[in-house]
Chains A and B, each alone.
Chain A
Amino acid sequence: MTAATPAGQLDPVRPAPVRRAGAGGPAAGPVVRRVAAQVRAVRGWLVLVPFLAFVGVFLLWPTAAVLVRSITPGGAFGLSALERAVSGPYRSAFVNSLTLSAVTALLGGVLGLALALAMRGLTRPRWLRPALDSWSSVASQLGGVPLAFAFVAAVGTQGIVTKALLGVGVDLVGSGFSLSTTAGMALVYLYFQVPLMFLVVSPAVEGLRSTWQEAATVLGAGPVRYWRTVAGPVLAPSVLGGMLLLFINAFSAYATAYVLSSSGQLVPLQIRFVLQGNVITGEQDLGYALVTWTIALLGAGLLLVQALQRRAARWSRA
C-alpha cells in the first residue's frame, strides 16, 4: 500500500524535471512535493474516518454506556451493582463459565496442536491438507443454534446415536450423560474449538524449520532436548495465545449454551435473564454490571493474546 501510493502520486509531478532541464525555475519542485506529501497525509487520515466512526458508534459508545450504567446503579454513583454481579448465584455463574472456558480451551488447544503437528510436512494424499483447511475454517465459525441442534439430534435424549446405542445395549441417558451438563457442553464446544486452534497454530507449526532440528541433532541433542529447548519455546507463545483465544471464544459463546441448557448458570445466560426476560424486571444495572465484568475479563485476555503474539512474531521475523 505505502509503496504503491507514492508511485501513483509522482505521476502528475513528473514533468518538473523536464521543466528544470529547460528554462523553468527550479523552486517549483520542492513546494509541489511538500504539498503533495501533506495531501497524502490528510488523505491517509480521511480514509480512516469511516472506520473510526464505525468503531466509535458501534463499539466504543455502547461499551462506554455499559460501563457508565454499571457504576451508576439507580442513577447515583456506586459499586453495589458490580459487587452483586460477583456474589451469590452470579458468582457461581462466573465460576461455571470460567471452568467451561478453561476446560475447552485446554482440551481444544491440545487437540488442535496435535492435529497441526500431525499435518506438518504431510504432502500425501494431496487433497487432505486443503480439505482439512477448509473444513477447519467452516467448523471454527459454526457455533450457535445450528451446532447445538446438530448435537441434540445426534446424542440428545431422543438423538439418532443415542437410540442406535440403546439398540445395542448402551444406555447413554441412563448412564447420566446429558448435553446440558458441563461435560456435555464441553463436548459441543470442542467441535468449534479444535478447528479454531488448528487454524491459529498451523502457521507457527509450519514455521518450524527442519534445519533447526538438523542443527540440534548435529550438536548432539536428542528429540526430547530439541523439543524442550528449541521447538517448545518457539511454539509456546503461539500455543498459549491460541488457547487464550479459545478461552475468550468459549466464555462469550451464548446461543449454543442457550439451546443446550436454557437453565444454565453461565454468565451470558444470566445477562439474558436480567436484561431480556419475562420475569425479572428493573435489574438492568445488574445486567450491565455482569457485562462490565465480562468486558474486563475478555479485555485482559485480549491484551495477553497480543503480548504473546508479539513474542511469537519475533521468531517469524528472524
Chain B
Amino acid sequence: MRKLPLLVPLTALALTLSACSASSEAASDTGTTTAGDATTCGTTVDEIAAAAKDEGTVNLIALPDTWANYGGILKSFTDTYGIDAPVANPDASSADEITAIQTLRGQADMPEVVDVGASFTQQLIDEGYAEAYKPTVWDEIPDALKDPEGRWVASYYGVMAIATNTTIVKDAPTTFADLEDPQYKGQVTLNGDPREAGAAFGAVMAASLANGGSFDDIMPGIEYFAGLKASGNLQSVDVTEATLLSGEVPIALDWTYNFPGIEPQLKDAGFDLQVTVPTDGVYGGYYAQSVVTESAHPCSARLFLEHLVGDDGALGYLEGGAIPARYATLVEEGKVDADLAKNLPDADTISKIEFPTQEQIDAAKATLAEQWGPLVADK
C-alpha cells in the first residue's frame, strides 16, 4: 500500500501527456494564419514596447550566444526594453523548434519567435504556426528575405566562408579550387552533414556555384565534395567549439557569423584564425524569423522581431559577422564602419548575392538526400 502514492503522479503524468498530444493535434488542425490582434499592440515600435512591457517576457528557443552574436543582441533587447527573453534549448535545430511549438502549444512557455533554416519556412506556414506580421521597417527588407504576406522575415544572413587555423596551416586557402590542393589532406571540414546541417548545405551550394552549377543544379557541388573525399582532403568530424579549439579542424567551411564568437577562445588556445569568403563561390544563406501564432506574449514577440530587424539588432548581427537584412539601408545611412565589415565581402559583392527560391531549395534537398550518401558519405 505504501506504493500507492507513487501511482498518483504517474497516472497524472500519463493523463497530462495524453492530454497534451490531444490538444496539440487539435491546435494544429484549427491553426490559423490570420493577422490576429496585431492592432492591439500598436503600430509604432514605441507603442508595441509599451504593450510588451505589461507582458514582461518573450519565450525564445534555439539562439546560441555565439551564433551571429545572439548573446549581444539578447542583452541589448533586455537592456533597452526591460523584457525577459529566456532562450530554451539554445542548440536546438529547426526541426526541434517546430516540435517544441507542436508540443507546447497553448502553454505559457511555448516558443514565441523562432529562427529556422530557410527550408523550414514553408512547413511553418503550412502548419499554421507563422503569424503574418510586417515589421515597421518592412519596405527596407529585400524581397528575397521576406514572405510577401509577412509570415517570416530573414533578419540576417551569412556568407559561406573558409576559416583557416593559420597556426596549423601556414598557407591559407582562399578559393574552393585551392581546397583541392594535396597539401590540405585531411584538413577540410564541413560543419555537419549537408542533409542535416544548414551550414554544410550552404557549403555545397557555394561549391556548386564555384564549379559551374546553379541553384537549379547542385550536382557540381556534390561532385566537387566527392572529389575532395576521394583525394582525402575532406575529413568527417564536425565543426564545433571543441574540434576547433583542439586543432582537429584546421580548415572549416561555415557561415561568416560563426567565427567572431569563438575567436577569443581560439586566441587563448594559441591559434590564429583567418576567415575568407571564397572568391569563386559567394553564397549567402539566411535563417528566417517568425512570430508564432497563439503565443502567450504576442506584443513582446512582435517587439523582439522589431528589435532584430531594427538598427540595434542589425548592428548586433554585423558585430557577429552576419549581414543584416537591411544592410543596404545601413550602408546608405553610414552606419556600417570598416571595423564592423571586416569579416564580410565588399559591399559590391554583397549587393550581388542572390538567394534560392523555396522550390530550388526543395529540389536541392531532394538531390542531396539521394546523392550525398552514395557519392560522398559512403566513399
Contacts and interface: CB of A to CB of B under 8 A. Distances in A.
Interface of A: 43, 46-47, 49-50, 53-54, 56-57, 88-90, 92-93, 96, 149, 152-153, 156-159, 173-174, 176, 178-180, 258-265, 269, 272-273, 275-283
Interface string B139-159: 000000000000000000000
B243 A279 contact: no
Nearest to B199: A278
Contacts of B250: 157-158
A258 B4 CA distance: 42
B96 interface: yes
B237 interface: yes
Given A89-B372, A156-B237, 6 more contacts: A53-B10, A158-B246, A263-B376, A265-B378, A277-B94, A281-B365
A262 B192 contact: yes
Nearest to B191: A262
Nearest to A95: B378
A273 B195 contact: yes
Contacts of A262: 190, 192-193, 197, 236-238
B238 A279 contact: no
A47 B238 CA distance: 47
B247 A273 contact: no
A310 to B, nearest CB: 31
7 contacts: A50-B6, A89-B370, A92-B374, A179-B237, A277-B195, A279-B368, A280-B195
B235 interface: yes
B345 interface: no
B365 A173 contact: no
Q: What are the 9 closest A-B residue pairs judged by CB atoms, nearest first? A: A89-B373, A180-B236, A277-B196, A262-B238, A278-B198, A158-B247, A278-B117, A261-B236, A273-B196
Given A53-B11, A92-B373, A279 B194 contact: yes
Interface in B210-269: 232, 235-238, 242-243, 246-248, 250
B185 interface: yes
B196 A259 contact: no
A50 B3 contact: yes
Chain B CB within 10 Å, residue with most, of A53, A157, A180, A275: A157
A47 to B, nearest CB: 5
B187 interface: yes
A274 to B, nearest CB: 8
A133 to B, nearest CB: 32
Contacts of B196: 272-273, 276-280
Given A53-B7, A279-B365, A281-B122, A264 B377 contact: yes
Nearest to B122: A281
Contacts of A173: 185-186
Nearest to A185: B236
Which of A89, A173, A262, A279 has the most B CB atoms < 10 Å from its CB? A279
A179 B236 CA distance: 9
Interface string B165-209: 000100000000000000001110010111111101100000000
Contacts of A174: 185
A275 B373 CA distance: 17
A99 B314 CA distance: 50
A47 B186 CA distance: 57
B70 interface: no
A279 B374 contact: no
A97 to B, nearest CB: 12
Contacts of A149: 242, 246
A260 B237 contact: yes
Contact of A281 (B95, B232, B372): B95
Contacts of B365: 279-281
B293 interface: no
B331 interface: no
Contact of B95 (A53, A176, A278): A278
Task: For chain B, give the interface size range.
Answer: 35 or more
Contacts of B190: 262-263
B187 A157 contact: yes
Contacts of B10: 50, 53-54, 57
B19 interface: no
B13 interface: yes
A88 B93 contact: no
B65 to A, nearest CB: 18
Contacts of A88: 370, 373-374
A265 B373 CA distance: 7
Nearest to A266: B377
B273 to A, nearest CB: 15
B119 A263 contact: no
A281 B243 CA distance: 28
B108 interface: no
Given A46-B1, A50-B3, A263 B246 contact: no
Contacts of B14: 53, 56-57
B123 interface: yes
Given A152-B246, A176-B232, A277-B197, A93 B192 contact: no
B153 to A, nearest CB: 18
A43 B2 CA distance: 10
B187 to A, nearest CB: 7
A259 B236 CA distance: 9
Contacts of B7: 49-50, 53
Nearest to B92: A276
B235 A47 contact: no
B235 A180 contact: yes
A57 B236 CA distance: 37
Nearest to A159: B248
Contacts of A280: 119, 195-196, 365, 369
A281 B246 contact: no
B17 interface: yes
Given A53-B7, A149-B242, A173-B186, A281 B119 contact: yes
Nearest to A263: B193
A247 B33 CA distance: 49
B275 to A, nearest CB: 20
